[in-house]
Structure 1
């Protein structure tokens, strides 16, 4: 199916020839591959293909180009899978728009919140680093941050660190000598580590969010509002069919209003 789609589309033959000679594809060629197949998928299945149809194309990619398969993922690279599910343009929204569109407005909004012992520290961290749910019981900002990112000192055992972590929701494991000098990021799923091939905290969060879709995982209850905000406001996924809280909708309106 994927091979036939490439043979029908302009540029597809070049993709097949590059893989045959190099046993891999350049980053630019991978983006071209995703764009060609996304176009073919919408032509065959309509503007909103089903998840099953998208996953069929993802499986087709790694069947035709096995060297592209990530051994840690049942379907391929996290970003590649997410690209195929939603398109390359949507997949790049967080990395492309965070610093210019969202970060300044979120910091401004946060300065207007009720002050707590956590808030000044979190604001300073957000301003210092350029990259960077509904629950029945309340959780502090610090505890929520710890649910998402776990710091691990590089001189100690990672296995012991994972054993002590409760729950099966994915999280980022940041490994380094200090919290301000992280050498490697992983995301952990059910006590399994998957390396993140980037060195910025923003890229690590980008992949953490995407892995929920690639592995069909639910959001952590204590982080559900954050993830829903990113899902609907940043990536524009299922905006009208997601059961959001009123606070998420209000915050989205503020973030997307140019005069805020």
Structure 2
């Protein structure tokens, strides 16, 4: 028996060797590349809105002309995707599917990367698009993404400000968690390249319902505190003196600056100051022991570079617990690689002001403990930009 199926404007014939409900559902899933696991989510109803199951499907398909309605239900999204089908006298069934939320597609990344589901919330996407389109500066944000397929930090901050203002205007200064999640879902639905491929849902760097963090959450907290003035973003200064490889590594400190240490430890460390926690320079010919003797407090592992100048390094050491361990590598990238791995060899934590950089390297470069390591939104956002 031939069944004519229409899905999202596309029509295909499904041929069944046996007219059974199970075979019908499997062929529909196969023809339109719907994951097989969604078969249990699909339900079929006749024109009286009575559910059709495997026991009566064959009889109804053969003898009862009319319209069938099928739904594909997602418990997580809480939405159903409705469809209708008609049984013609010539034995052809036409199935009409009208879908707002597209079916989930399993996305498999390269070896070593996790499998995850891509979920697009249609309602949330429309919400964010309407808000941005109706606010000053919002159209420019949409246009910038359309042109560059990403957003600059300044544009992202402007977007967050617009959305947080709209959220508080509509729902008050403490919007429900469901509203915050919808806004976060809408951002990555409207701007797919801003999605973080390593997080569970892809939008946690905008709002993570588990710990209440993310750009939207932080902006809401700022609005709730009503500060007298907001601190502006500091300019990025390019590191000077080191070779190009080490300069590129130090540039990460400007892209992923140290996080604020809280009210009890005022004064945020600059990226340049954090660089001093990553690598120290000492002229060749001076004593390494002299450097070790000058250490007055315990520090996390860092690199000691020996050379005539910063751009002409002869050897590297990893300094840990007042010991200098010579690096096998003679280049800055190899030395940094050994420094990173030393944290795992000696079981020591990252320096707090270098945590963002090392976490980014751990999860994005080395793919270690992906999804288990706590990351700041900046780390997730930088990864999303790199992979777009």
Q: What is the TM-score when the length of structure 1 is the normalising length?
A: 0.50
Structure with higher Rg: it is 2
Give yes or no for contact 1:131–1:200 (8 Å, CA) kept in 2.
Answer: no
Distance 1:159 1:248 in 2: 36
Q: What is the match of residue 122 of structure 1?
A: 239
**Aligned pairs for 1:225-240 within 5 A:** 225-240=356-371
Q: What is the match of residue 143 of structure 1?
A: 273
User: How much is the aligned-residue C-alpha RMSD, in angstroms?
Assistant: 3.1
In the TM superposition, residue 168 of structure 1 has moved relative to its aligned partner by 2.8
Q: Secondary structure at the match of 1:146?
A: helix
In the TM superposition, residue 250 of structure 1 has moved relative to its aligned partner by 1.0
Distance 1:124 1:190, change over 3 A: closer
Aligned with residue 153 of structure 1, among 268, 276, 283 = 283
Q: What is the match of residue 60 of structure 1?
A: none
In the TM superposition, residue 123 of structure 1 has moved relative to its aligned partner by 7.7
Structure 1's unaligned 5+ residue stretches are 1-88, 91-108
Distance 1:215 1:181, change over 3 A: same
Question: When the two structures are aligned, how many residues end up with a matched partner?
Answer: 149
**Aligned pairs for 1:72-221 within 5 A:** 116=235, 119-122=236-239, 134-136=259-261, 137-165=267-295, 166-221=297-352
Distance 1:184 1:156 in 2: 13
Distance 2:242 2:284 in 1: 21
Q: What is the TM-score when the length of structure 2 is the normalising length?
A: 0.35
Distance 1:125 1:150, change over 3 A: closer
Q: Secondary structure at the match of 1:219?
A: coil
Higher RCO (CA < 8 A, seq sep 6+):
1
Q: Secondary structure at the match of 1:186?
A: strand
Q: Deviations over 1:199-252 (max 9, x none)?
A: 110111011001111111100011111111111111111111111111111111
Aligned with residue 385 of structure 2, among 228, 232, 254 = 254
Deviates more, 1:123-132 or 1:169-178: 123-132
Distance 2:246 2:279 in 1: 15
Distance 1:124 1:155, change over 3 A: closer
Give yes or no for contact 1:135–1:221 (8 Å, CA) kept in 2.
Answer: no
Q: Deviations over 1:151-188 (max 9, x none)?
A: 01112222121222332310001001111111001111
Distance 1:217 1:150, change over 3 A: same
Distance 1:244 1:144 in 2: 18
* Structure with the bigger percentage of strand: 2
Structure 2's unaligned 5+ residue stretches are 1-110, 113-151, 156-231, 250-257, 262-266
Distance 1:170 1:246, change over 3 A: same
In the TM superposition, residue 140 of structure 1 has moved relative to its aligned partner by 1.1
**Aligned pairs for 1:13-32 within 5 A:** none
